[in-house]
Amino acid sequence: MKAISIKQTGAADTLEYLNVDTPTLKTGEVLVKIAAAPVNFIDTIIREGNMPPGMMPELPIIPGVEGSGTIVDANNTELKPGQKVAFLGPIGASAYAEYAAVPADRLVTLSGDADLLEAAVLPVNYFTAYHMLHNVVRAQPGKTALIYAASGGVGTALIQLAKNAGLTVVGLERKAEKLANGLSQGADFMFDTSDDNWVEQVKQATGGEGVDYIFNPVAGDTIVQDLELLKPLGHVVIFGLLGGAGETNLQAEAFKHFGKAPTITYSEIYATFFNDYPLVESSMKALYQLLDEGKIKPVYSTLPLSEAAEAHRTIEAGKVTGKLLLIP
């Protein structure tokens, strides 16, 4: 079969498109013919060799942690050939390929008329968003959410799911086209963080009250603005470190706002995946129900699997709106 292999760390052109053996199934695994393999930022970090200590997989590796497709070998499980499925897997799930071996108990079965490209968008981005909204902050209708990188994969999912949950959405971005996209996805307000006055703009948009929930993949020193904008009893969820750890003394900064009793949470989907998979499963089923009902509309673009290097360059340049899918 055709697959993408990382044999050595480095730039995007180290990704190799080559022939490899079709996976041999272990007990409990099924063989899935991949319809779409989403590209995630973690794939680029693995390719560069910049994973945290102890988390870098042994090379060579076929990247890709999620996908959608059709079962071609059910391997004596209760599943059946021809069933449409989607999955979220760990590092090593090897989705950048024509076929992948996936544990049967980690698959979500889809309806017969499911769109496999739309279905591929949900496992990482929409689960991340759903988990933060419904399992972490337990969002309540009528509240206000502030979403960083609102036109990205998780940001787009957050906007759609937050509006479904009855929230007012304030989105943050840095380019005119991305601001427009956030509004098109349902955000009530979009502000440009390259404008030094964006914090005051958010305050004005919320009648001076601020926001109840903040979803932040940037980190760095942005906690300063977050705590300033947060309402009493509000909740900041940090789910990425695009801006690094920053230099802010988090304890000291939070103490300045002690009277608000703020909650600050770090959300990492694999902590839940490995320690409470039933919560992942129930959340995923809820998401695919929303998809079937037309209440969410995944945003994506595609490239052939053979152009994985270009896909990595595109995502690293910040040029992806929604999700970028590789098609075998």
Joined tokens for residue 300: 């994506």
d(CA 102, CA 81): 14
Asked if residue 54 belongs to a domain, the reply is: yes
The pLDDT, as a whole number, for residue 281 is 96
Domain boundary pick from 250, 269, 288: 269
The pLDDT, as a whole number, for residue 268 is 92
The DSSP output letter for 27 is T
Pair (98, 137) in one structural domain: no
pLDDT above 90 (res 318): no
Pair (94, 196) in one structural domain: no
The pLDDT, as a whole number, for residue 150 is 95
Asked if residue 207 belongs to a domain, the reply is: yes
Residues in the chain: 328
Q: How many domains does the chain have?
A: 2
The pLDDT, as a whole number, for residue 299 is 92
The pLDDT, as a whole number, for residue 321 is 86
Asked if residue 287 belongs to a domain, the reply is: no
Pair (145, 213) in one structural domain: yes
Asked if residue 282 belongs to a domain, the reply is: no
pLDDT above 90 (res 52): no
d(CA 284, CA 266): 20
Asked if residue 136 belongs to a domain, the reply is: yes
The pLDDT, as a whole number, for residue 18 is 96
**pLDDT (tens digit per residue) in 64-81:** 999 999 999 999 999 999
The amino acid at residue 155 is G
Nearest to 306 by CA among 327, 291, 321: 327
The pLDDT, as a whole number, for residue 250 is 92
Asked if residue 319 belongs to a domain, the reply is: yes
Pair (202, 146) in one structural domain: yes
d(CA 134, CA 113): 27
Pair (110, 131) in one structural domain: no
pLDDT-based confidence at residue 55 (cuts at 50, 70, 90): confident
Residues 6+ apart with CB under 8 A from 289: none
State whether the Cα torsion 215-218-223-225 is positive or negative.
negative
Q: Which residue has the higher pLDDT, 54 or 255?
A: 255
